[in-house]
Amino acid sequence: MTELAITHIGGPTTLIEIGGWQLLTDPTFDPPGGLYRFGWGTSSRKLTGPAIAAVDLPPIDAVLISHDGHGDNLDPAGRRLLPTAATVLTTVSGARRLGGNARGLAPWATATLAAPGRPTVQITATPGRHGPPLSRAIVGDVIGFDVRWPGGSVWISGDTVLYDGLHEVAKRLDIDVAVIHMGGVRFPISGPIRYTMLARDAVELCELVRPRVVIPVHYEGWKHFQQPREAIEREFATAPAATRDGLRWLTPGERTAL
C-alpha cells in the first residue's frame, strides 16, 4: 500500500508525501510580523512563522499553488524556493506571471508525475472562487488540486467559498482525504463579504464530498483569518457523525501518516 503522510507547516502550507513523492502546497515561509497588501485597500499581518524552515524541506517534486497573487498563499520566501522544485502547478494566469518551471492548469486539466519505483500520481485542477459572485476580476483566478494515485487520493480545496463549482467536485470525484482551506477570511473595507469558507460551509461541503478524513488548514497565523480552531471545532461537533468523526487536526511541523 502506498503511504500517505501530511505535515502542516502553517497557514495553507503543507508537505504531502505519497510513496516517495514530495508535494508542497501554497508555500509561505516568511517570518512573522510582516504586513502584506492584497490590493483594493486590503492588507493583513502575518502573526506566526512556519513550523518548518524552507531550508529544512526535502527535495520537492511539485509545488501546488492555488493562486499566486496573495502573500498568505505565496510569500517572498515561498517564491524563492520555486526554482528548486521539479515543477510548479498553478492557475493559467499565475503560470504566466511566475514563468520558469510553472505550468498553468485550468479547472479539470491534469498533470502527471511518473518515475520508476514510485506510484504514478495524477494531479487535476479543481474549480474555486475566492469570494462572492463577480469577485474574480478583483481577487483573480484560484484552483484546488485533486491528487490521485492507485488506491488513494487527497483533495486540496484552495482558497474558495462554497459555491456551485464545489458541487461539481462532489459529483466528479471520490475523495479520501480532504484538506480544506477555512478561516472565513474577510476585511474591514469589504464588510461582511467572505473570501474563504466558514466552518459551517466546510461541514456542508463534507456532507457533499464525504471524505474519510477532513484536515483544516488556512485558519491560523494571519490577522485576516476570522475563524480559529475553537470555532471550527464547535461547528464540527454538531455535524453528522461521519463528518464529525473524520475531522483531523495536524500539529504544525509534525509528520502525520494517514
Nearest in space to 239 (alpha carbons), one of 209, 202, 198: 202
Residue written as grid cell 461547528? 235
The domain locations on the chain are 4-249
All residues at 6 or more sequence positions from 159 whose CB lies less than 8 Å from its CB, including other chains = 12, 66, 67, 70, 73, 128, 130, 142, 181, 185, 195, 196, 218
108: pLDDT strictly greater than 80: yes
Kindly report the average pLDDT of the chain as a whole number.
Answer: 94
Give mean pLDDT, residues 197-214. Answer: 96
Q: Give the integer Cα–Cα distance in Å for 9 and 254.
A: 8
Q: Which CATH class is domain 4-249?
A: alpha beta
39: pLDDT strictly greater than 80: no
186: pLDDT strictly greater than 90: no
Q: Please report the pLDDT score of residue 258 as a whole number.
A: 95
Percentage of the chain beyond pLDDT 90 is 84
Percentage of the chain beyond pLDDT 70 is 99
25: pLDDT strictly greater than 80: yes
The answer to which of 9-18, 40-49, 162-171, 196-205 has the lowest mean pLDDT is: 40-49
Give the chain's length.
258
pLDDT band at 195 (very low <50, low <70, confident <90, very high): confident
Q: Please report the pLDDT score of residue 135 as a whole number.
A: 75
Give mean pLDDT, residues 69-76. Answer: 93
Nearest in space to 19 (alpha carbons), one of 124, 116, 144: 116
